[in-house]
């Protein structure tokens, strides 16, 4: 039987495994397997050549039992509704596992920003905001940046939302430029959260970070900052990759110089003094820490047996398939599940939302200190659950998240008790 690579079905498989361990009520379980709302919109955009082109956009609002929906917006040529549904589900578990008062959602537009002008991207962003203006808001659904979106795009969406509603509302979206109410520390928050979880995992596993050999798959914003921060801790970054290929150096790479090379050449491939390697070779390198920081389904049943890292820190969303996760668990490869590992971004987005609502802003030091406290507690909670229940870290994280969401649903009164049965 072929391995399941549909990201939403993988998310459901992971949910099902944890729900069984929790003995979750079947009706609650079924409710949590699907999103509450799905919005699909057609966005007409006038292109630079004068022609009108229609783009398809999505916003999946998975669950808001614990607070407003929260999640990024992707601009990607291969975007699918199932991918957005999976990401919205994972965001639900992400906000719950770190115990912040938000739900889960996700957005996406099928487009290739590499083939669009800045003006076309702006018109697309504003069109997306207009199409969903009555579906988002600071107490409804709070978007943020994701793959191929950035603070400038968030600024355009905020501005368009304010034009439609006629109200100043910086809290409608996070990941904004500092000048428009963004939070200090947001730019590298996801990577910093990854570092905090690696620190705790390394302490548990007895890995000396001053001598650790690190491999980073994906050299965008998160992968780059992770590489920089791991080097600052004394680790040696021996390989990195991007969509065009990977590079390897046993003596270690200089993350900053590699990034400068990539900016000039649009890829890390060809960096002086490095050896070109394939994605498969990169993932299977001898190393202490592997950080998949690219897209979904990178570690599969085809390569999971070849993973030689002691620790896999999932900086990307859903980089490991269900079957691959089972293989890594069987092989005792310690894995920090993505919705815990990369939660630094949503934690600081939560801080930005709070700062916007109050109109009072914090220093970077305060932001990082508070994020460290939240994510470290979450990691230790998951580790304790893993050890107590004798389950892998992913299942433990799901168990904590699912219970919190399920409890919130029940406490809201969405369920009536009659003769001991749960009725929806």
Exposed, middle or buried, 286 (CB in 10 Å: 0-12/13-18/19+)?
A: exposed
Helices and strands counted in the chain (H then E) = 14, 14
For every residue of 14-49, DSSP letters joined together read HHHHHHHHHT--HHHHHHHTS-SEEEEEEEEEE-TT
| Residue 182 vs residues 75, 178, 185, 264: alpha-carbon distances, Å | 21, 4, 9, 28
Handedness of CA 263, 268, 270, 271 (dihedral sign): positive
Paired strand residues for 92: none
For every residue of 296-312, DSSP letters joined together read SS-B-TTTGGG---SEE
Q: Please tell me which residue in 31, 85, 94, 106 is annotated as part of the active site.
A: 106
What is the β-pairing status of strands 289-292 and 311-313?
Answer: parallel
| 106 among known catalytic residues | yes
| Calpha distance 62→255 (Å, rounded) | 37
Residues known to be catalytic? 106
């Amino acid at each position: 039987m072929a391995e399941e690579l549909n990201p939403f079905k993988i998310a459901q498989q992971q949910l099902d495994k944890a729900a069984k361990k929790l003995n979750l009520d079947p009706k609650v379980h079924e409710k949590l397997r699907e999103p509450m709302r799905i919005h699909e919109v057609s966005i007409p955009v006038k292109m630079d050549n004068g022609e009108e082109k229609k783009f398809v956009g999505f916003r999946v609002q998975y669950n808001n039992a614990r607070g407003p929906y929260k999640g990024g917006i992707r601009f990607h040529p291969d975007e699918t509704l199932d991918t957005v549904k999976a990401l919205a589900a994972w965001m639900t578990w992400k906000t719950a596992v770190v115990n912040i008062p938000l739900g889960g959602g996700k957005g996406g537009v099928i487009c290739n920003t590499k083939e669009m002008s800045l003006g076309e991207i702006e018109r697309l962003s504003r069109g997306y905001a207009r199409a969903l203006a009555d579906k988002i808001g600071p107490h409804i659904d709070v978007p943020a940046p994701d793959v191929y979106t950035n603070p400038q795009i968030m600024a355009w969406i905020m501005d368009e939302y304010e034009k439609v509603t006629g109200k100043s509302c910086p809290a409608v979206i996070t990941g904004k430029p500092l000048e428009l109410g963004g939070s200090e520390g947001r730019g590298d928050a996801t990577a910093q959260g990854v570092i905090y979880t690696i620190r705790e995992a390394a302490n548990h596993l007895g890995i000396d970070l001053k001598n650790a050999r690190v491999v980073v798959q994906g050299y965008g914003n998160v992968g780059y900052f992770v590489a920089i921060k791991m080097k600052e801790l004394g680790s040696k970054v021996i390989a990195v990759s991007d969509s065009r290929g990977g590079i390897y150096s046993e003596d270690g790479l200089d993350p900053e110089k590699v990034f400068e090379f990539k900016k000039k050449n649009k890829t890390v491939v060809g960096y002086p003094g490095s050896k070109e390697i394939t994605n498969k070779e990169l993932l299977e390198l001898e190393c202490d820490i592997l950080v998949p920081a690219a897209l979904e389904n990178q570690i599969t049943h085809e390569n999971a047996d070849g993973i030689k890292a002691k620790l896999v820190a999932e900086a990307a969303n859903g980089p490991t398939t269900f079957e691959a996760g089972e293989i890594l668990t069987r092989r005792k490869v310690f894995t920090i599940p993505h919705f815990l590992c990369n939660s630094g971004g949503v934690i600081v987005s939560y801080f930005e939302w709070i700062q916007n609502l109050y109109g009072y802003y914090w220093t970077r030091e305060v932001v990082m200190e508070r994020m460290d406290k939240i994510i470290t507690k979450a990691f230790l909670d998951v580790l304790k659950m893993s050890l107590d229940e004798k389950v892998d870290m992913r299942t433990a994280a799901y168990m904590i998240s699912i219970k919190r969401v399920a409890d919130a649903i029940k406490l809201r009164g969405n369920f009536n008790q009659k003769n001991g049965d749960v009725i929806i």
